[in-house]
Amino acid sequence: MSHDASRPLHPDTQVIHAGQHPEPVTGAVMPPIFTSSTYAQRSPGEHTGFEYSRSHNPTRYALERMVAKLEGSTIDEKDDPSCGGFAFASGLAAMDCVCQLLSAGDHVVCMDDVYGGSNRQLQRVKARSQGLNNTFVDMTDPARFAAAMTPKTALVWVETPTNPTLKLIDLAAIAKIAKAKNANCLLACDNTFATPLNQRPLDHGFDIAHHSGTKYLSGHSDAVNGLLVTGDLELARKIRFHQNAIGAVLGPFDSYLVLRGIKTLALRMARHGESALKIAQWLEQHQGVERVVYPGLPSHPQHALAKKQMAPSYGAGLRPAGPGNFGGMITFYIEGGLDEARRFLESVQLFTLAESLGGVESLIEHPAIMTHASVPPDMRRDLGISDTLIRLSVGIEHVDDLIADLERGFKAAHGGMTTASASPARVRGNAANPPSLSNIRPAHQTSTPAIPPILSL
Ligand code: PLP
């Protein structure tokens, strides 16, 4: 895409054009799906820049450049063919590539509340296979992070908002502390929940933005994929080497699908955020709810940080369109216990009971039994991933239909308890007097759900 660089483009425009140019032979506006695994050479070692598709694929490059530009990488295509963006077979494969940049025995500091599979990769795989020495710490408190970080810490891994309890990490504060202790330490932020339209980790001093692109980037629950972005050319070269050397690259068909999904990312995120805010406000007034956690609510203990950090500028103050800047994920604790949670989850109809998130369709799940079953039970207990915790991924259906569906769930869970009450069942804090972070955790806890076999390997 060539345009007048002195006039930055709105993010809504970037999701269509960033890093894209018509295909040189035919002028095709969307990049063709280049399926060829290999490319003809004129003479041994003399090729067009494309040798073998694990190393170079034009369809994958188009996706990688798009995400790199959205995340704010300034690497030029002349210096790196994908501008510092890298696509992998899954979000966990992308995380694996970051870990492979480390050496055996290195120290990692990880946010204690992360996706269960990320926790599992560090604790059950990397600790054994690479001897990585992991410290999990609650980084919502920068002082605790400072105490966990050592001059030998080689990687800091965070998610914000966290999965599933939607805590926020102050990225700029963490970056400042980390780089002061060890300037060479890599800082990686899993930006899956926020997306680059709502938050850009590189702008806050992080080295790598990570995505499970399976979620909002693809947006249609039809392509498992992961992405890394860096704005540092030297680091980009290292990641490129490892992406090729390890080989868990994204195939051309899926690259095409994800790129196609991103074209509507701005429209989708505006709708996800707008509907999620309405639903969170409705839940907060509902008698069947013990507590709602949503960064866009004044009652969220870090609402002020959410307003500051989840508001990226794309240059000259350009911001994504629409009011929804806090994403489509809501967590709430239902009144009662596991039985009420089960009845609720079994009776909603528009919200599909399924793992994953970020698609156009609304999803609902029970983290303790589903996505976070691989987190050790005592850690789940400490994090507040209890039997009554329910996670919503709010889709782009009409919000009134979604609210009616949730009401159906409450009726099934609690019998007579019906519509939103004029006076909420609990005082949950307000802008002037937000509850503390520990209030995110409900008082009662939790039986230990059985771990499904695939996760207990
Ligand atoms: N990060 C987050 C926040 C996730 O929710 C997930 C999956 O649910 C992952 C990473 C892993 O991504 P993938 O399933 O694409 O490997």
Instruction: Read off the CATH number of the domain in which 170 is found.
Output: 3.40.640.10
328 Cα–ligand 1 center, Å: 15
190 lines ligand 1 (CB under 6 A): yes
162 lines ligand 1 (CB under 6 A): no
Alpha carbon nearest to ligand 1 atom 5, residue: 115
The residue-averaged pLDDT of 295-303 equals: 96
Question: Within a domain: residue 427?
Answer: yes
* CATH code of the domain containing 294: 3.90.1150.10
215 is catalytic: yes
* Per-residue pLDDT tens digits for 319-363: 776 655 899 999 999 999 999 999 999 999 999 999 999 999 999
* Per-residue pLDDT tens digits for 201-258: 999 999 999 999 999 999 999 999 999 999 999 999 999 999 999 999 999 999 999 9
Q: Do 285 and 399 reside in the same domain of the chain?
A: yes
**Entry pTM:** 0.91
Domain boundary pick from 208, 230, 262: 262
Q: Are the beta carbons of 226 and 214 closer than 8 angstroms?
A: yes
Q: Do 271 and 246 reside in the same domain of the chain?
A: no
Question: Within a domain: residue 244?
Answer: yes
Alpha carbon nearest to ligand 1 atom 13, residue: 91
Domain boundary pick from 213, 229, 262: 262
Domain boundary pick from 242, 262, 282: 262
Q: Do 326 and 197 reside in the same domain of the chain?
A: no
Q: Do 183 and 295 reside in the same domain of the chain?
A: no
Q: Coil, strand, or helix at residue 28?
A: coil
Question: Within a domain: residue 108?
Answer: yes
Q: What is the pLDDT of residue 317?
A: 74
Q: Among 214, 357, 374, which residue has the most ligand 1 atoms within 8 Å of its CB, making it the best to mutate?
A: 214
Question: Within a domain: residue 172?
Answer: yes
Radius of gyration of the chain (CA): 22
Residues with Cβ < 8 Å from 154, sequence gap 6 or more?
A: 102, 103, 106, 107, 108, 182, 184, 185, 186
192 lines ligand 1 (CB under 6 A): yes
226 CA closest ligand 1 atom index: 15
Number of domains in the chain: 2
Q: Do 316 and 379 reside in the same domain of the chain?
A: yes
- Going by pLDDT thresholds of 50, 70 and 90, the confidence category of residue 450 is very low
Question: Within a domain: residue 301?
Answer: yes
Q: Do 247 and 282 reside in the same domain of the chain?
A: no
Q: What is the pLDDT of residue 376?
A: 87
SS (H, E, C) 143-165: HHHHHHCCCCEEEEEEECCCCCC
Q: Among 92, 225, 392, which residue has the most ligand 1 atoms within 8 Å of its CB, making it the best to mutate?
A: 92
| Domain ranges, residue 295 | 266-455
92 Cα–ligand 1 center, Å: 6
